Structures are given as structure tokens and as C-alpha cells.
Structure 1
Amino acid sequence: MAFATFTSTHLCILTPHQHGRQLFSQRTSSKVSASLNPTKPSTSNQTVVRRSGNYKPSIWEHHYLQSISSVFTGEEYTRRADELKGRVKMMLEQVMDPLDQLELIDVLQRLGLSYHFMDEISKTLEIINSSSTSWDNWKDNLYATSLQFRILRQHGFHVPQDVFSSFLDDMGKFEGGLCGDTNGMLCLYEASYFSIEGERILEEAKDFTTRHLKENLEQNMYMDQNLAMQVGHSLELPLHWRTQRLETRWFIDIYEQRHDMNLLLLELAKLDFNMVQATHLEEMQHMTRWDINALEQLPYYMKICFIALYNSINEMAYDVLKENGSYIISYMKKMCAELCNAYLIEAKWYHSGYTPTLSEYLGNAWMSISGPLILIYAYFFITKLVTKEALEYLEKYPSILRHTSIAFRLADDLGTSSDELKRGDVPKSIQCYMHETGASEEEARDYIKCLIGEHWKKMNEDLFYVSPVSKSFVTVAMNLARTAQYNYQYGDGFGVGDRETKDRVLSILIEPIKD
């Protein structure tokens, strides 16, 4: 797999401020090289025939990747960014109207700038959440109510769905007259994706807005083309399910065309994106210096991964390892063993020609997709103080691990199952559902898409409840599901890197935003 594609996946999982730390330091790479036996593992005389994915060669030539440079690393850019951030902080302090505050926070988030102002944003949202005045004032304003609901839920405030009751008719349906309020409809649509199980009003909101926004778009009812682009973009994939850096790159261009665009925010957004991109580029170039010829045989590859994992944990949590090191390493070995066991179950299904039920398939596939292992590794990477309580919590595979991994698996299946079946792989969720129910492939795909939404509802619950792991880890876990939607939105974007994935890698890693 192309290193550039891997790196773009890595940066989509982590938030911008987490990229200041190298995924693998030079010291770790040296340890990996020193730990490996210079001779390759011996092989028996017996030839083992393995199925091949027949993936295309990487389109990212090594010397090309190493030759790229970014000018956005100098002190002059840092000074200018700091100056602009200071002015934005003043702006946040001066804006007093609650709706203006929410709109500014929304723009900062979508421009990829909010991580610079988390303290100011948190204080503002605490005040807004503690006051009932805005809800009372906006009970007839669909746009304002939806925006406040979405942003507060996104930041962990469990706002009740009943705030939308004033927009329902006597039958419990959203009033038809709301269809003319495109901004309000679009904002309600985005808010509905922060629902949890059993929230009927938000389910009705999702169905209502999706139906009418699609109809209006098909009938070319939007006079504002910028707004029409936003509607089409959201209907393709809601904001809550999108990866931040790609969404930021798209939204900067949209924001530049808005009549209410703020030049200060636009300049900072472009500068910050280019500076973060320079960090991504540095990480990617570091990773591509690894000797990929060492991956020639699978056992050797697994040895590299394990040593890199061990040493990376040692780099990032050295003090914790001194106290709980044996527990952590034992835990990681257990995780690797369970992943291998999941692979073995799939191999048995394949060789026996068995098609599992959808429930059987998902009961194994949430592990075989490697989501839990990826997330545990991410936990060590982002957590400054690893506690035994948190490890014991994660060892039980809590909701956030399970449902994120299932969403990851299902998105993968939607994008890759057809190609995988052609080369002789086990049935995926789509085929399992078809075999079990007699549904057509189109019906099965629609069901799997709905199932992804149900697991997102479960993930949303973790935004509101206290657990031994941080909210930052919950965000990273959700980002894994978002990355899957990004990788497989147009097919196998991970295995076939010369289509949409190529443009996305270029936009995130290589091509800076021009003035």
C-alpha cells in the first residue's frame, strides 16, 4: 500500500494539534533496524500458494515524495499566524450575541481553526448551554435552534431533542412550511446526525430534510449556487461523518465565495492549513525512508510492526512502562492474538465454503478489520498519562471500540466487497445479508448503509458519558470511522490509489492553498 495513502489515513484519524508529535521518531526507526536480524527468515522447500489482491503498484514514486518541500515552515509564517490568532481571540471576546457566537464557532471549526481556541470556545458554550434564553427566543427559528443543538451536542452537551417540538404539527411531523427555509433545513439535516437511539424527532428530522433537500436540488430550486453546492455536499455525506482535514480544504474554497466572508479568518485558515500540511509532509517523508524491501515476507513484516509498536509505546509512555510495563505489553500481545484468531476464523469460513449470518459475520469482523488494535495504539499515542483503570476499561472492548470498528468494517465492505469476491475472498456483510434474507444486492447495500447510521448513534452516546478515557480519544475513535467513509466513499480508495484518493492525497499532503 502506498505510504502516502497510509499517511493521509493517519492524519485523518488525528486532530491537527496531535500532528506535532512524529508518528515514529528517528530513534524508534533506529531501534527497529537494530532489533531485526539482518538475515531473512528461512523458508521451507514447500511452495505455499497464496491468494493475491493483485493491487496496482504505488503511484507515489519514492524520489518524488522525498523531493517535495514546503516553504510554510519558516519563522515569518509562525509570526504571522500568531498575530492572526491573537486578533481572532479578540474577536471571540467581542462577539456577544449568542447566534453570532455560534456562527463564529461553526466557521472556525469548519475552517480547521477551532483547535487554536478551545478554551475560549468551551467557555462560550458553557454559558450558552446554561442559559435557556436562546432556546426561548429561537423557538420559531429553525436555523438558530438547529445550529445550537448541533454544536452543543458535538461538544458533549446532552441537549434534549424536544427543543425541536415547536416545529412539529399535531401529528408529530415537521411542518411543511419549513421547506422554504433552506439554511434552516440544511442545518436541521446536519443536526439530525448527532442523534442517539430512540430519538424519534431526530429520525423524523433526518427523513424530512433529506427528502425535501433532494427534491429542491433536483428541481434546481436554489438560486444561490454556493448554497446548492453545500446542500449537494452534505447529502453525499453529512458533516459529522466527514474527515476534518478534507472538509477544511473543501470549505475554505466555499467560504471564500460567501458574501459574509471574513478576510481575517480566511487568511488564517489558508496559512494554518499550509503550515499543518508542511508537518504532514515531513511525517510522510520520514515514513517513506523505511526500507520497504523488509516487508517481502509476512512473518518479517509482522516482526517489524511489533517492534515498532513496542518502541513507539516506550517513546511515548516511558514513565508509565516503568510502573505498568509488563501489563501493557501483555495487553498488546493479547490484542494481536485476538486479531490473528479473527483472521483464522475467516480462513476457516473461506476453506469450508461457509457463508455466515450477518450477526456471525459482524461478531468476528469488528475484530478482523483491526479497528480495536489501531485504536489502542492511538490511545497510547495521544494519552499523556496512561492509567491501569483506562487499560482495564479498554480491555473489555467498550462501546466506542466495538461500534467504531463495525462502522469501519461496513464502510469497507460497501467499497471493496465486489472486487474481493472476484478474487475469491470470504462473503462480506452485503453477501451475508443477501444469503440470509434473499434480498437483492441493492437492497442489501441500502440496509448496510442504514446499519452504519445505527452504529453512529451508539458512538454519539460516548460524546455525553464520562469514561476512564478522554474525550480526545473518543474523537480519535470516531475519526477512524470517518476515515473509512473517506477511503471507501467511491470504491476501494485504499487499494486503488490513482482515482479520487490521488486528488485527496495531493490536496492534504502536497499542494498548498494559493492566495
Structure 2
Amino acid sequence: MAHQCLFPQLLSFSSRHVDPAIRSLDTTGIQHSEVPRRSANYKPSIWNNDFLQSLNSDYLGEIYVRKIQRLKDDVKRRFDEALEPLSLLELINTLQRLGVGYHFENEIKRALDTILPIDKNNGLEEEDLYATALHFRLLRQYGYEVSQDIFKSFKDEKDGAFKASISEDIKGMISLYEASYYAVEGEDLLDEAQEFTARHLKELKESIAPHLVKQVSHALELPLHWTLPRIEARWFIDFYKMKEDMDPLLLEFAKLDFNMLQATYQQELKVVSRWWKSLDLGKTLSFARDRLVECFLWAKGLCFEPQFGNCRKQITKTTLFITTIDDIYDVYGSLDELKLFTDAVERWDVNTLQDLPEYMKICFIALYNTSNEMACEILKEKGWDIIPYIKKAWADLCKAYLVEAKWYYTGYRPSLEEYMNNAWISIMGNVIHVHAFFLGIKITKEALECLMEYPNLVRWSNLVVRFADDLGTSTDELERGDVPKSIQCYMHESGVSEETAREHIKHLIRDTMKKMNKDRVASSPFPQPFISAAVNATRTAQFMYQYGDGHGVPDQETKERVFSLLVEPIPLMEG
């Protein structure tokens, strides 16, 4: 039987669908209503629609499509030319870090299968720390089972500590450091490796060659496993071109691929920017953050590959709504209003909005229309009615927001555990993951049932995002008036300094990532793109909050990264 759209009247949202009283709403009047309002004094967006529409790239042309295919075929031949196991590992590593590994997933897996044994028969030198650690990291990255015990040969038999001599092997130390971040719970040897390598690499920075200093500093700033793939690609392209053993073919392919993906992102940004401008929420609800480009960075972070363009556009829209609704709960709404809005989202019925203030009606109707439009598309394309699932995700998010609002208005200070039990939901991850799942390649009943129970994979991802958010934003949020975040909760219950509390939260991130490392390769009903998106959410959070509030504050660091990733192509020819 053919599926029909559940909400055909809502497929194209515009102001004509809104009550005239809402359509003529004066935002100045909103801000001076009788209800006392807080203000975060958010700065306006630095990325206006005119600028985004002006973005133009030649790299979508047919000439580049043909060229990238020729280069790709040439790169494939490099797998046959890599005769030694270490050469093969280095090729895989280089392709990954250049950001083009996704083109060669089948070749990479076949190559790893040929050098899978972690023993003396795999063609690698047993005492080569660099090769051993690289082998270990790549196998774990691709979900192969490999024991931490392969590093025992680098420990002293007398005292059980790592041999002092290996600290002189800079390449080996960096390789071991990066490998240690693929640890799971209980792998004490890898914990020791991480502490040992980090300590010695910090000391060695003072006495090694400049090009090694750059590599060491980059690794210590954020490990590869925690780094957003496109950020790493942009950095590594510049680093790789200076290496003595640089392969010009790989470099040319990586540059062209980066520029072609960037051109694709620009086209997607234009589409979403036109939609956002026509919706006009950024101006109508002027108390909220207007962060279109930053929301697109979240979407691109979750799934960067070209085939996920529709997913990126829809996730950007979803993240824009999350940002706006977050500000309604955190900054603008009164407690009574927030209770009404939460109830409206739970009911998911436009006929029950009469008690909402006008600004909430605007927000809800826009959310309702946009969500139902996406639901209609998925119903037509895949035969799934997803309204009950996205309704539940939004309701769960708003209920978690309401808990935090009640804490604020009553002056309640939760314990860290109580805070975390609510915060892993209020961070937005469940809404994003549910949308990402339905926008993915394949939907199965088994995976859907598992998803709506919010499996550990999603929970760990959300917690890391929450902790990274708190580390980057909690100071500013407390200054404007907000509930205590994880840092303050731990300070209060443990009587420690803010610096100590921050170190504790960083420790919780490391522990949670270990759990994530286990669950991302465990037996699961979820397709690989969804699992990758959950892991990439943690990397995107590290990226967005690495230097502060990269989502809410349009600072110089965020601006430079946007230009690097989305605006400025890499010159194909040097000089």
C-alpha cells in the first residue's frame, strides 16, 4: 500500500501558516512584557545570508570530477606497490590523516587483514615501537581485536615500568601516545603508556627539531582519536607537504578532495541559510543565539562524507531549533511558561497552543512544521512513520531542560551524579542521534527499538559532549545566571578548587571514552555510519569547546576555523 504524507498541509512552512497575531509580533514588545526576562546579551551572527550566498567554488565542475577519479585510481595502485607491512600501515595512516581514507575503505580492510596477526609472522619488527603502536592503533580503529599485551616487550622485566630507552624514540613515543587513546576500561598498561608518553613528550619539546616540535605539540593538544577528521585533514595536509618522504600523488589527491568537499558544503550552507532566513526565527526570537554556521559545523562533524548531504542539512536545522529552545529554557522563559511549552511539545498538537505566550507559539509552530516536513520525506522515501520517535526525543529534551530550569528557579544545587543523570539528556544528543538515524542509509526495526531505549553508545557520546560543553561554557553561563554545571557540582560536593574540578571532569571524559571505545566495536544492530556519527559527536564537541564556547561566542578562533574549513580552498599548486 502506498504511504501518504501524514501532514500534507505542513510541507512548506512560511508565515502564512501562523496566526496573524503571531505573524505581526513585535519582538521589542516581547522583550518588554510584564514577565521579568533575563538576557545573555548574545552577539549577532557574524555570518549573514548575503555572505553565505556569495560563496562560490569552481571545484564542483565536471573537470574536477574526472580528475579526482583519475587520481583515486592512481592512489589505489599504491596499495599494490606497498610491499612491506610497515609501508602498508604508513599508507593507511597517511590516507586517514589526509582525510581521504573514506575513499578506500575496502582496500584498507583487505590490507589490514593481510597483516592482522600480532606476532612475529606479520612481517613487522617486534622491537619497533613505532610500527607496533601504529599497527595496534589502526587495528583497533577498524574494530579488530588486539591485546594491549603487545606492548609488554617495551617494559622493563625488573620493575615493570616502560624502558627508559624508548623515550628517545620520538616517532615511537608519538605512535604509542596516539595508540593509548584506544584503550577500554581495565587496560592499565595503556593507561601507563599514556602517562609515560605524555610526560616525556612534554619534556622532549624543549630539545628536539622544530618539525618534531610541531608534531608533538599537535598530538599533545588533542589526540588523533579525539580529533575531528576534517580538522585533522586540514592540519595534516599542511604538515605532510613539508615531509621529506611526501608522496606528491597523495598530497594532490587530498587537496583536491578537500576543496571539492568544501564546495559541496558551501552549496548545502546556501540552501539552509535561505531556509533560515525565510523562517526568520533568528530575528523574531532575537533573545536567542543565531548560529547557523556553527550549527552546520556540528552537522558536518557528525557526517562529513559527500553522500550525507541531506543528513547535514536536516541536522543543521535540528541544531538551530535546539539552540533556540535551549535559550528559551536557560535565559528567556519564566518557569510557568516553560511548563506550558514542555507540555505542548509532549502533546505535539498545534491545536493546544492557546495558553502559550506568542514567542513560544512561533517557536513551536516552526519546529512542528519543519519536523513534520522531514517526517513526510522519510515516509515517502523509506516507508517509516517517524513522528512518534522524533516527538519522544524532543519531549525528553524539553523535560530535561525543565528539570534544570526548576533547579535554577528554586536555587537547588544537584550532586554531580544527579546532574549527570539529567545532563546526558539535556545536552541535545538524543535528538541529534534520532534524526541522524532516520536520515541514514538503512532503518531496521531492531535498531530503532534499541535506539529509543537510548543505548550506551548514545549515552557515552552525550556525556562526553556534555562534559566538553561544561569545560568550555560554564563560567560564562554562571555569570549570566544558570544552574551549576558539572564543574561546580563537583566543587561543591568535594570542596575542591575549580582547577581540581576541571581536571576531574577531564578524567571523566577519558573514562567515558574508554566505554565508548568498547561499545563502538561491540555487536550492535546499528549501521556503521550511525556508530561513526556517535563517535564523531564527541570529536565535534572537543572541537567546538576546545578554546571556550565555540558554539555560542563568535570568537576569532571559530571564525578562523570556519574560513579554513568552509570558505578558503587549498591552493593546488604551491608558490
Please give the TM-score of this superposition, normalised by the length of structure 1.
Answer: 0.89
Matched, 1:146 2:204: no
Give the deviation of 1:474 after TM superposition.
1.2
Residue 163 to residue 340, structure 1, CA distance change in 2 (3 Å) = same
- How do residues 17-36 of structure 1 correspond to structure 2 at under 5 angstroms? 31-33=12-14, 36=17
Contact preservation (8 Å) 1:241, 1:482: yes
**Which of 283, 300, 308 matches 2:370?**
308
For the residue of structure 2 that corresponds to 1:450, the secondary structure is helix
One-letter amino acid of the counterpart of residue 111, structure 2:
T
CA distance in 2, matches of 1:128, 1:486: 33
Residue 293 to residue 215, structure 1, CA distance change in 2 (3 Å) = same
Q: What corresponds to 1:210 in structure 2?
A: 198
Unaligned runs of 5+ in 1: 1-26
**Which of 45, 70, 87 matches 1:83?**
70
One-letter amino acid of the counterpart of residue 475, structure 2:
S
**Which of 369, 376, 381 matches 2:427?**
369
One-letter amino acid of the counterpart of residue 80, structure 1:
K
CA distance in 1, matches of 2:135, 2:378: 37
Give the deviation of 1:35 after TM superposition.
8.4
CA distance in 1, matches of 2:172, 2:361: 55
Residue 270 to residue 134, structure 1, CA distance change in 2 (3 Å) = farther
CA distance in 2, matches of 1:236, 1:242: 10
RMSD: 2.1
Contact preservation (8 Å) 1:356, 1:432: yes
- How do residues 110-121 of structure 1 correspond to structure 2 at under 5 angstroms? 110-121=97-108
Q: Deviations over 1:345-402 (max 9, x none)?
A: 10111011111110000000000111111111111112x2211111110111111110
**Which of 264, 268, 271 matches 1:286?**
271
CA distance in 2, matches of 1:464, 1:168: 28
Give the deviation of 1:34 after TM superposition.
8.4
Query: Which stretch of the first structure deviates more once superposed, 333-342 or 355-364?
Result: 333-342
For the residue of structure 2 that corresponds to 1:467, the secondary structure is coil
Q: Deviations over 1:232-270 (max 9, x none)?
A: 011011011111111101110000000000000111111
**Which of 371, 378, 386 matches 2:443?**
386
CA distance in 1, matches of 2:271, 2:10: 10
For the residue of structure 2 that corresponds to 1:92, the secondary structure is helix
One-letter amino acid of the counterpart of residue 355, structure 1:
R
- How do residues 44-193 of structure 1 correspond to structure 2 at under 5 angstroms? 47-130=34-117, 132-133=119-120, 137-170=124-157, 171-193=159-181
One-letter amino acid of the counterpart of residue 207, structure 2:
M
CA distance in 1, matches of 2:111, 2:569: 32
CA distance in 1, matches of 2:162, 2:9: 57
For the residue of structure 1 that corresponds to 2:116, the secondary structure is helix
Residue 468 to residue 230, structure 1, CA distance change in 2 (3 Å) = same
Please give the TM-score of this superposition, normalised by the length of structure 2.
Answer: 0.80
Greater length-normalized contact order (CA 8 Å, ≥ 6 residues apart): 1
Give the deviation of 1:172 after TM superposition.
2.3
Q: Deviations over 1:422-478 (max 9, x none)?
A: 001000000000000001000000111111111111111123211010122111111
Q: Deviations over 1:162-211 (max 9, x none)?
A: 11111111232211110000000000000000000000000000000000
CA distance in 2, matches of 1:377, 1:139: 46
CA distance in 2, matches of 1:35, 1:141: 69
Matched, 1:226 2:283: no
Give the deviation of 1:38 after TM superposition.
6.2
Matched, 1:242 2:227: yes
Contact preservation (8 Å) 2:118, 2:146: no
Give the deviation of 1:40 after TM superposition.
5.1
CA distance in 1, matches of 2:452, 2:236: 38
CA distance in 1, matches of 2:464, 2:174: 24
Give the deviation of 1:496 after TM superposition.
1.1
For the residue of structure 1 that corresponds to 2:417, the secondary structure is helix
Q: Deviations over 1:126-180 (max 9, x none)?
A: 2222574456843211000000000110011121111111111123221111000
Query: Which stretch of the first structure deviates more once superposed, 178-187 or 289-298?
Result: 289-298
- How do residues 194-205 of structure 1 correspond to structure 2 at under 5 angstroms? 194-205=182-193
One-letter amino acid of the counterpart of residue 42, structure 2:
Y
Unaligned runs of 5+ in 2: 1-7, 285-358
CA distance in 2, matches of 1:261, 1:306: 52
Contact preservation (8 Å) 2:116, 2:122: no
Residue 175 to residue 245, structure 1, CA distance change in 2 (3 Å) = same
CA distance in 2, matches of 1:38, 1:96: 70
Give the deviation of 1:311 after TM superposition.
2.4
One-letter amino acid of the counterpart of residue 537, structure 2:
L
Contact preservation (8 Å) 2:85, 2:124: no
- How do residues 316-331 of structure 1 correspond to structure 2 at under 5 angstroms? 316=378, 318-321=380-383, 324-325=384-385, 328-331=386-389
- How do residues 329-340 of structure 1 correspond to structure 2 at under 5 angstroms? 329-340=387-398
Give the deviation of 1:329 after TM superposition.
1.7
